[in-house]
């Protein structure tokens, strides 16, 4: 067993059929000789309460709540803390979702932890014991929905709803005792492959096809969470092909799954990915709002719009998507990404919870009803490629349970469970994890500018990699200035926000430094609040980012990680150090060539 | 039958076993009723003479010369010219080579004409009738050596020397009656796969393995031209692994094939492809000279060093490689590239013979003993993807036969044979073919700067695509200046040249405009000989290049090409026009952002 459950050395038998069974089994093994009674109270749902009683412990909870309570008790006991006599908890979000981007050929889109968890060569291919370990890992941090296939539904994943359904049902049965419901990404155009001449959501034959399909799927997997849909995005089919809007498309599918209590999770990642770089009117961050905001209130009550946290695409720093602030009559989920697509490919250290907490500090209460995260899991022994990347999975679970979770506390908890270091080392480890995002940000694209990565791959520096491409991600750096003016004087993107956000960002003099180049086009000579010029701030951040990476690598190498983690961690730290140097030097050279401004401290910027 | 032999509508029977047989068959079909006698005179070798005699024609020639004479007579007759009563010719170079970069998986490296000619799925896979058509095409323009597999020898192409040898021999037998000898690219490290513990060229077991291998191969294919080797280049194995130099490696192989009259053709494409962009001392164009010049005189007499025409890699404009000027005691072949890797992927029109003629005008007589060209052939019906790209194959044959061939005459001949247009249209077509290289050059990287293409793919504009990469191909454009100083004040590359070349290029005031940014780093304000600033010249060239592409596309669409050529030509012209616009705008914007200089004529440069 890996990650934060490495103290749970026993395997889970295959014959446990309910969360209570699993709870009982795990408690017996983790706390041998301790008497624990389980008291199912369906009113508690996923919540639980745990009391010390004379004979030992009593756990009350709904069907799944019993298991969450059991893991809470076990983890508290294993972490070596004093266990309180009485504690209780209930999740903030009912759906706490992981989206796997696993393809049936065995690859994972944007996966950095090995091959697919579930598939190989177009077939299901997994070790059931390993699946139970994975289920335990997810349940232990409170996650309860697992979408098993890529939102880009490549053949033959469409067949999950068809001849592969019995095998999918067998997988669902493995996860069920852990309180985890599967979900499938579906292909909006699929009726066309089954003799229906259209996929138009208004066509009765299409509606009938989806109703029949849903009935068939739910008869095999009655607790399926629902369907996840990426439509009219980056080449995927969708309702636009038939002159319908996304509410038309989503509601048609929602009608099909509604009788079975299913959800339609509809991704809002729609933009023009064939943009002309010469077109300065179109501004990609504006796209989601333009496609969805006017539909507020028109979605069925079992549709959830799944919105990426920022308006671009999982960048290191983006403002909260305006869509998450402006659709008050629509079910919303915020989408995070554990897979480090733009944040270092699980080579560079990047602990996300400080970023997530910032997002939540901007998000008014009750604005979203669910959280989703793109998986960072794969077939690697350690699940997440980099052993320290597991912190993102664990803390994501905690965040989805309670978005007000304290970042430092969550990371410390993970570190303690995973490595059980002495206090000083634990503090060093949590300190560097908590600082890792800001370090990465310092040596990559400056001050909210985003992108500057190698195209396609999205790893490593390439300041102009996307500059003349079709993706709508431009910085337009020239010899005088850099950035896109997104205020009302510019592309008008900022106008999509409520007044308090507009006020926060609109004036470069008061806009927070780290968002400056997200919202503004500024001359290199622009004075930051601390008096430095913007170009000097760029140089300083990059030199600091690299220096901090050096000290991060030293700290890592001094910590007593066990093998095999240690070897992986040190090798990746070495790669990060090399790549941070590339980033630092390339970004500094790029801006130096443009601006001609020398570093005020005479450090080396290469010609 | 395609390309310039489309008037030869008959198939060649499979039972013709000698060049004389083929000559006789083709003459009977092409000139029915005309009495032609063949007079073999082995002193004439590949040369021939053709005389009108009372009964008809007499062709004298060596074994292959008879066939070349026959095709010469046929093509003259078919082209509608008056055939002279007496004409004769002999080739300037004994080896007139085509290098196919075909992989056994069916792909062609840098191929833009469909799948491999010879291979699919790891096996030989071809239609013998089609092979005879190809052989006829090559023989009709005088080519006589065909290397059938990629210089990057990927598994299982090594087995051409092993269990696949009987099939290779069968292919050789198809080409033999056309005077064409096969050649194989070989893997220097191959002994390691056969129980020899090293591939060190000084090791007796290695020498013995290659001797045995050569004996086996030549017993199956006695007229094999030899082996082509890419060693110690871009990851290929070679003598460096054993502390030996390239003469050691080449001579060892030469010893093995010498008893059979075989050649070792040793490519000189060696450079550091893991360069650090921060390193300003290393300069990739210097590499070939540094690796080979000191070995002059040390190669066996059946070794040929095959040197790319320029010091980089098949760019639109490069000065002649200094290696072709400085190795007076070594057999040299100049390597050209018909495949349009950097010259438009057989989408953009790029007729190469004007460029080749420029190279030859710089090359002293008798400096090279052979010509080689990377193939532009593939399984497409028209052989070359773009029907007009066949002009490069045909004129390459003429050039290898006689490097003083007149470019306009050669292109006109090709156009007449291929399309037989009326005079005015023929003139339009040859005019645009002859101007196509300069047009392409105008809208791509300016003034000899090279590169600026998309990495890996090598199609389309990406001004900084290679700027921070490992390939040693930098322009270091900043707000003031662009280019690399390659004079003795800079990297010293120019010092590798003889005095007359140094004199031609070393002073930016006198250096030919189109080589300025190959040799010099210059400010945008540099005054060209015509008084324009360099930046204005860049803008002008790019606007002109696009405008000329528009007129090229119009001309093409007005010409009476037959189908299916017309559809392909017009579709590709449309793509070229789109891409020329991208190139023009992106390069102009790139330099405008850096320099801040406006176009003197107020044309649109996008921000």
Q: Which pLDDT tens digit goes with each residue over A76-124?
A: 999 888 999 999 999 999 999 999 999 999 999 999 999 999 999 999 9
Task: Identify the three-state secondary structure at position A268.
Answer: coil
Q: Give strand pairing partners of B533.
A: B527
What does each C-alpha distance from B559 to A146, A508, B276, B535, B556 come to in angstroms? 61, 58, 50, 36, 5
Query: Are residues B395 and B405 in contact, defined by beta-carbon separation less than 8 angstroms?
Result: yes
Chain A CB contacts of B585 below 8 Å: 278
Checking if the pLDDT of B165 tops 60, the result is yes
Name the average pLDDT for chain A. Answer: 97
Burial B309-336 (b: 16+ CB within 10 A, else e): bbbbbbbbbbbbbbbbbbbeebbbbbbb
> SS3 of A210, please?
helix
Listed by number, the residues of chain A in 272-301 with a beta carbon closer than 8 Å to a beta carbon of chain B are 277-278, 280
Q: What is the pLDDT of residue B425?
A: 98
Which tens digits make up the pLDDT trace of A537-547? 999 999 999 99
Instruction: Confirm or reject contact between A598 and chain B (CB < 8 A).
Output: no
Helix axes A390-401 and A407-419, enclosed angle (nearest 10): 130
In angstroms, what separates the C-alpha of B273 from chain A's closest C-alpha?
A: 17
Do residues B312 and B284 touch, judged by C-beta distance below 8 A? yes
Number of H helices, E strands in chain A: 16, 16
Q: How far apart are the first and last CA of chain B?
A: 50
Other CB atoms closer than 10 Å to residue B91's CB: what's the count?
21
Per-residue burial over B127-164, b if 16 or more Cβ lie within 10 Å, else e, is: eeeebbbbbbbbbbbbbbbbbbbbbbbeebbbbbbeeb
Where in the sequence numbering do the catalytic residues of A fall?
A: 234, 313, 341
pLDDT, tens digit, for every residue of B121-156?
A: 999 999 999 999 999 999 999 999 999 999 999 999
Of A262, A195, A283, A273, the closest CA to residue A232 belongs to: A273
Query: CB of A312 within 8 A of CB of A304?
Result: no
Q: Does residue A38 contact residue A50 with C-beta atoms inside 8 Å? A: no
Is B234 designated active site?
Answer: yes
- B559: burial class by Cβ within 10 Å (0-12, 13-18, 19+)? middle
- The pairing of strands B56-61 and B48-53 is antiparallel
Which residues of chain B neighbour A461 with C-beta distances below 8 Å? 468
CA closest to A470 among chain B residues: B582
* pLDDT single digits (tens) B314-330: 999 999 999 999 999 99
Residues near A320 by Cβ (< 8 Å), separated by ≥ 6?
A309, A310, A359, A362, A363, A501
**Does the beta carbon of B478 lie under 8 angstroms from any beta carbon of chain A?**
yes
Calpha distance B331→B322 (Å, rounded): 15
CB A104 within 8 A of CB A122: yes
B481 to chain A: closest CA residue: A593
**Do B341 and B351 meet the contact criterion of CB atoms below 8 Å apart?**
no
Residue to test with chain B: of A282, A470, A479, most B Cβ within 10 A: A479
Chain B residues whose CB is inside 8 A of the A457 CB are none
Query: B479 and A277: CB-CB below 8 Å?
Result: no
Distances (CA, A) of A562 to A549, A558, B381, B487: 22, 12, 62, 56
Work out the pLDDT band at B336, boundaries 50, 70, 90.
Answer: very high
In terms of CA atoms, which chain B residue is nearest residue A596?
B479
- Residue A159 φ then ψ, to 5°: -75, -5
Helix (H, G, I), strand (E, B) or coil at B186: strand
CA A483 from chain centre, in angstroms, equals: 27
Q: Average pLDDT of A169-194? A: 98
CB contact under 8 A, B278 and A476: no
- The answer to ipTM > 0.90 is yes
Which domains are delineated in chain A? 3-89 (3.30.379.10), 95-405 (3.20.20.80), 422-484+521-607 (3.90.1330.10)
pLDDT given at position A128: 97
Is A454 in the B-facing interface, judged by CB distances under 8 Å? no
State which residue of chain A sits closest to B483, comparing Cα positions: A607
What phi, psi does A89 have (nearest 5°)? -160, 155
B313 is catalytic: yes
Please judge whether A594 and B594 are an interchain contact, meaning their C-beta atoms are less than 8 angstroms apart.
Answer: yes
Task: Tell me the CA distances in angstroms from A25 to A14, A131, B494, B575, one per residue in order.
Answer: 11, 17, 78, 66
Q: Would you list the DSSP string of B524-562?
A: TTPBPTTS-BHHHHHHHHHHHHHHHHHHHHHHHHHS-PP
Chain B contacts of A476, Cβ < 8 Å? Answer: 593, 607
Q: pLDDT-based confidence at B589, cuts 50/70/90?
A: very high
pLDDT tens per residue, range B475-491: 999 999 999 999 999 99
Return the sign of the alpha-carbon dihedral for residues B487, B492, B494, B499.
positive
- Give the mutation candidate from A468, A484, A582, A596 for the B interface (greatest B CB count, under 10 A): A468
Which chain B residue lies closest to A481 (C-alpha atoms)?
A: B593
Phi then psi dihedrals of residue B461, to 5 deg: -80, 140
Q: What is the mean pLDDT of chain B?
A: 97
In this predicted structure, the answer to whether residue A431 has a pLDDT above a threshold of 60 is yes
pLDDT band at B233 (very low <50, low <70, confident <90, very high): confident
Predicted pLDDT of residue B269: 87
Report which DSSP code applies to B102.
Answer: B
Helical spans, DSSP H, in B103-203: 128-140, 165-175
Q: What is the pLDDT of residues B3-17, one digit of tens each?
A: 999 999 999 999 999
Q: Which has the closest alpha carbon to A312: A464, A460, A482, A458?
A: A458
A279 falls in which pLDDT band (50, 70, 90)?
Answer: very high
Tell me chain A's radius of gyration from C-alpha atoms: 25
Residue-wise pLDDT for B499-512, tens only, equals 999 999 999 999 99
- A211-257 confidence digits (pLDDT tens): 999 999 999 999 999 999 999 988 888 999 999 999 999 999 999 99
Instruction: State whether residue B477 sits within 8 Å of chain A by CB.
Output: yes
Is the distance from CB of A60 to CB of A44 less than 8 angstroms? yes
Judged by CB atoms closer than 8 Å, whether chains meet at B278 and A596 is answered as: no
Residue A374 CA to residue A147 CA, distance in Å, equals 9
pLDDT value at position B272? Answer: 85
- To the nearest whole Å, the CA of A466 is away from the closest chain B CA by 10
pLDDT of B1 strictly over 70: no
What would the two tokens of residue A54 be? 């004379």
Count of positions (residues) in chain A = 607
Among the listed residues B234, B279, B500, B554, the single catalytic one is B234
* CB under 8 A, 24+ apart: contacts of A573-578: A573/A349, A575/A347, A576/A344, A576/A347, A576/A348, A576/A349, A576/A549, A576/A552, A577/A549, A577/A550, A577/A553
Pick among B459, B466, B593, B598 to test the A interface (most A CBs inside 10 A): B593
Tell me if residue B200 is catalytic: no
The rounded distance, in Å, linking the Cα atoms of B46 and A303 is 79
Task: Tell me which residues of chain A, numbers 337 to 366, contact chain B at a CB-CB cutoff of 8 Å.
Answer: none
């Amino acid at each position: 067993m890996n990650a934060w459950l490495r103290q749970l050395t026993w395997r889970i038998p295959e014959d446990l059929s309910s969360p209570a069974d699993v709870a009982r089994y795990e408690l017996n093994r983790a706390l041998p000789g301790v008497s624990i009674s389980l008291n199912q109270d369906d009113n508690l749902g996923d919540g639980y309460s745990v009391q010390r009683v004379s004979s030992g412990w009593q756990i009350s909870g709904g069907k799944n709540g019993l298991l969450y309570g059991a893991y809470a008790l076990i983890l508290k006991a294993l972490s070596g803390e004093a266990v309180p006599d009485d504690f209780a908890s209930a999740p903030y979000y009912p759906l706490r979702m992981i989206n796997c981007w696993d393809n049936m050929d065995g690859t994972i889109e944007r996966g950095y932890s090995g091959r697919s968890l579930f598939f190989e060569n177009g077939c299901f291919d997994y070790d059931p014991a390993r699946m139970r370990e994975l289920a335990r890992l997810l349940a232990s941090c409170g996650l309860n929905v697992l979408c098993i296939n890529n939102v880009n539904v490549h053949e033959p994943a469409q067949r999950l709803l068809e001849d592969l359904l019995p095998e999918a049902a067998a997988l669902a049965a493995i996860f069920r005792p852990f309180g985890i419901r599967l979900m499938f990404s579906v292909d909006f155009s699929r009726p066309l492959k089954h003799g229906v001449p259209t996929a138009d959501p208004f066509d009765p034959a299409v509606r009938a096809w989806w109703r029949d399909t849903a009935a068939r799927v739910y008869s095999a997997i009655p607790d399926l969470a629902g369907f996840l849909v990426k439509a009219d995005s980056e080449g995927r089919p969708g309702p636009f092909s038939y002159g319908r809007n996304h509410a038309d498309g989503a509601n048609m599918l929602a009608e099909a799954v509604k009788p079975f209590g299913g959800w339609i999770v509809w991704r809002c990642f729609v933009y023009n990915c064939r943009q002309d770089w010469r077109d300065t009117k179109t501004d990609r961050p504006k796209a989601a709002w333009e496609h969805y905001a006017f539909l507020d209130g028109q979605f069925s009550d079992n549709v959830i719009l799944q919105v990426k946290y920022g308006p671009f695409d999982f960048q290191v720093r983006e403002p909260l998507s305006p869509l998450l602030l402006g659709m008050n009559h629509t079910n919303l989920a915020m989408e995070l990404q554990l897979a480090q697509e733009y944040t270092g490919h699980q080579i560079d250290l990047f602990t996300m919870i400080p970023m997530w907490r910032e997002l939540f500090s901007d998000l008014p209460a009750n604005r979203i009803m669910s959280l989703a995260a793109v998986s960072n899991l794969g077939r690697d022994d350690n699940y997440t490629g980099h052993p320290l990347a597991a912190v993102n999975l664990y803390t994501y679970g905690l965040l989805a349970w309670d978005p007000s979770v304290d970042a430092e506390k969550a990371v410390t908890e993970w570190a303690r469970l995973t490595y059980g270091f002495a206090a000083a080392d634990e503090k060093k480890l949590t300190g560097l994890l908590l600082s890792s995002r800001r370090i990465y940000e310092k040596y990559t694209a400056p001050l909210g500018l985003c992108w500057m990565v190698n195209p396609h791959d999205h790893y490593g520096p390439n300041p102009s990699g996307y500059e003349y491409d079709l993706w709508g991600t431009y910085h337009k750096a020239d010899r005088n200035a850099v950035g896109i003016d997104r205020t009302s004087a510019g592309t008008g993107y900022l106008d999509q926000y409520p007044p308090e956000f507009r006020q926060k960002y609109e004036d470069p003099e008061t806009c927070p430094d780290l968002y400056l180049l997200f919202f503004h086009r500024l001359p290199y000579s622009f004075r930051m609040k601390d008096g430095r010029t913007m170009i000097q701030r760029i140089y300083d951040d990059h030199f600091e980012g690299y220096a901090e990476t050096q000290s991060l690598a030293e700290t890592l190498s001094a910590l007593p990680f066990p093998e095999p983690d240690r070897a992986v961690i040190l090798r990746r730290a070495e790669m990060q150090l090399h790549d941070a140097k590339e980033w630092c030097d390339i970004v500094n050279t790029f801006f130096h060539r443009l601006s001609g401004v020398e570093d005020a401290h005479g450090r080396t910027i290469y010609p």
